[in-house]
Chain A
Amino acid sequence: MIFKTLTLNNFRVFNDETTIDLSPRRDGVLEKNIILFGGLNGAGKTSILTATRLALLGKRALGQAIHKKDYQAYLTEQINKAALKDDGNSSASIILEFTHTHQGKHNHYTIERTWTATREEKVTIAENGQLDHSLNSEQVQSFLHELVPPGIGDLFFFDGEKIAELAEDDTGSYLKEAVQKLLGLDVINRLGDDLDIYIKQITKDTASADTIRKIGELEAEKAKYLRYANKRRDFENELNSLLAEVNKDIAKLEQKIEERGGAWAKTKDQEKSRADDLIKQQTKLESSILSELSSSFPMSLAPTAMQNLLDELNAEKQTKDAKAFNEQLVKNFDGLQASLNEQFSDTSNDIMANINQYFAKQSAASVLEAVILDVSDTGLAAINAQIADAELAKKHINKLNTELSTTQNELANLSTNIERAPDENELAELFKELRKLDSQRAALKTRYMRQLLKAKNFVEKALENAKRLEKLYTSQKTESSITKAIQRVDTTQNVLNEFSTELTQLRVCQLEELFVKSYQKLARKGDLKLSAKINSKTFDVNLVDQDGITINRKSMSAGEKQIFAFAILEALGKLSGKVLPVVVDTPLGRLDSKHRNKLITHYFPEAAEQVIILSTDTEVDEQFYTIMSKNISHAFEIEFDQETKCSTLSEGYFWAEKVKEAV
Chain B
Amino acid sequence: MLPHSMWLNKAVEEQLIGLRGRTGITPNVASRIAFFRSVEAGFIYDKATDHKLTGSLKLDKFTWLGKTEMVTELLLKQRYPNFTEKELQAAWAAHVESGIASIRNLNNLNSLYKHL
Binding site for B on A (CB under 8 A): 286-287, 289-290, 293-306, 308-309, 312-313, 372-373, 375, 379, 382-383, 386, 389, 397-398, 401, 404-405, 408
Contacts and interface: CB of A to CB of B under 8 A. Distances in A.
A289 B25 CA distance: 9
Nearest to A296: B67
A301 B36 contact: yes
B50 to A, nearest CB: 24
B113 A299 contact: no
A289 B30 CA distance: 12
A302 B39 contact: yes
The 6 closest A-B pairs by CB, nearest first: A302-B40, A301-B36, A298-B32, A302-B36, A401-B113, A298-B36
Given A302-B37, A304-B40, A383-B74, 15 more contacts: A293-B29, A295-B66, A295-B67, A296-B67, A301-B37, A305-B36, A305-B40, A313-B74, A373-B78, A383-B71, A386-B67, A386-B68, A397-B113, A398-B113, A401-B113
Contacts of A405: 110
B109 A404 contact: yes
A286 B70 contact: no
Contacts of A299: 36, 68, 71
For A294, A309, A382, A397, the residue with the greatest tally of chain B CB atoms inside 10 Å of its CB is: A294
B75 A382 contact: no
A301 B33 contact: yes
B48 interface: no
A313 B75 CA distance: 11
For B24, B29, B71, B77, the residue with the greatest tally of chain A CB atoms inside 10 Å of its CB is: B71
Contact of A298 (B24, B68, B78): B68
A298 B26 contact: no
A268 B26 CA distance: 36
B7 interface: no
B109 A286 contact: yes
Nearest to B34: A298
B37 A382 contact: no
A296 B29 CA distance: 10
A309 to B, nearest CB: 6
Given A301-B33, A301-B36, A375 B74 contact: yes
A309 B75 contact: yes
Interface residues of B, number: 26
Contacts of A301: 33, 36-37, 40, 116
Contact of A294 (B26, B39, B75): B26
9 contacts: A290-B29, A293-B25, A294-B32, A299-B68, A305-B75, A306-B71, A308-B78, A309-B75, A401-B113
Given A299-B71, A386-B67, A404-B110, A373 B77 contact: yes
B75 A286 contact: no
A79 to B, nearest CB: 144
B39 A373 contact: no
Q: Is the interface of A mostly helix, strand, loop or mixed?
A: helix
Interface in B51-67: 66-67
A382 B71 CA distance: 10
Contacts of A303: 40
A586 to B, nearest CB: 148
A404 B23 CA distance: 13
Contact of B74 (A298, A373, A408): A373
Interface in B72-86: 74-75, 77-78, 81
A289 B39 contact: no
A303 B116 CA distance: 12
A373 B110 CA distance: 37
Nearest to A397: B113
A374 to B, nearest CB: 9
Nearest to B77: A373
B19 to A, nearest CB: 12
Contact of A296 (B40, B68, B113): B68
A286 B67 CA distance: 20
A174 to B, nearest CB: 131
A405 B40 CA distance: 27
Contacts of A306: 71
B92 interface: no
Nearest to A285: B109
A313 to B, nearest CB: 7
Contacts of B74: 309, 313, 373, 375, 383
A573 to B, nearest CB: 143
B103 to A, nearest CB: 11
Contacts of A286: 24, 109
Contacts of B25: 290, 293
Contacts of B39: 302, 305
For A287, A298, A301, A398, the residue with the greatest tally of chain B CB atoms inside 10 Å of its CB is: A298
A327 to B, nearest CB: 24
Contacts of B29: 290, 293-294, 298
Contacts of B36: 298-302, 305
A296 B36 CA distance: 11
A300 B39 CA distance: 11
Contacts of A302: 36-37, 39-40, 75
B45 interface: no
A306 to B, nearest CB: 7
